[in-house]
Amino acid sequence: MQIIRTLALPVLLAGFGAAQTITGQFDCLPAGGFQLCQNVWGARSGTGSQQSTLNSASNTTVAWSTTYNWANGPNAVKSYANVLSNAAKGVQLQNVASAPTSWNWNYASQSAGIRADVSYDIWFGTASSGQPATAASSYEIMIWLSGLGGIQPVGSQITTGTSIAGHTWNLWKGPNSNWQVLSFVSSAGDINSFNVDLNDFFKYLIQEQGVAPTQFVQAIQTGTEAFTGNATLVTTAYSVSLVSK
Ligand X SMILES: *[C@@H]1O[C@H](CO)[C@@H](O)[C@H](O)[C@H]1NC(C)=O
Positions that interact with ligand X (CB under 6 A): 59, 69, 111, 229-230
Cα-based distances in Å from 165 to 89, 91, 143, 211: 20, 20, 12, 18
Q: Which is nearer to ligand X, 71 or 158 (CB)?
A: 71
DSSP-derived 3-state class of residue 3: helix
Q: How far apart (Å, rounded) are the C-alpha atoms in residues 223 and 201?
A: 18
- CB under 8 Å to 134, separation ≥6 — which residues? none
CB of 48 to ligand X, least distance (A): 8
Q: Which is nearer to ligand X, 95 or 232 (CB)?
A: 232
Q: Which is nearer to ligand X, 111 or 244 (CB)?
A: 111
Q: Which is nearer to ligand X, 33 or 153 (CB)?
A: 33
Q: How far apart (Å, rounded) are the C-alpha atoms in residues 168 and 161?
A: 5
Query: What is the full DSSP assignment across 13-71?
Result: HHTT-S-EEE-STT-EEEETTEEEE---TTGGGSEEEEEEEEEEE-SS-EEEEEEEEEE
DSSP-derived 3-state class of residue 163: strand
CB of 59 to ligand X, least distance (A): 4
Say if residues 229 and 115 touch (Cβ distance below 8 Å).
yes
Say if residues 38 and 79 touch (Cβ distance below 8 Å).
yes
Q: Which is nearer to ligand X, 73 or 155 (CB)?
A: 73
CB of 164 to ligand X, least distance (A): 30
CB of 111 to ligand X, least distance (A): 3
Q: Which is nearer to ligand X, 34 or 179 (CB)?
A: 34
CA atoms within 13 A on the CB side of 224: 31
CB of 49 to ligand X, least distance (A): 9
Q: Which is nearer to ligand X, 47 or 160 (CB)?
A: 47
CB of 239 to ligand X, least distance (A): 13
CB of 102 to ligand X, least distance (A): 17
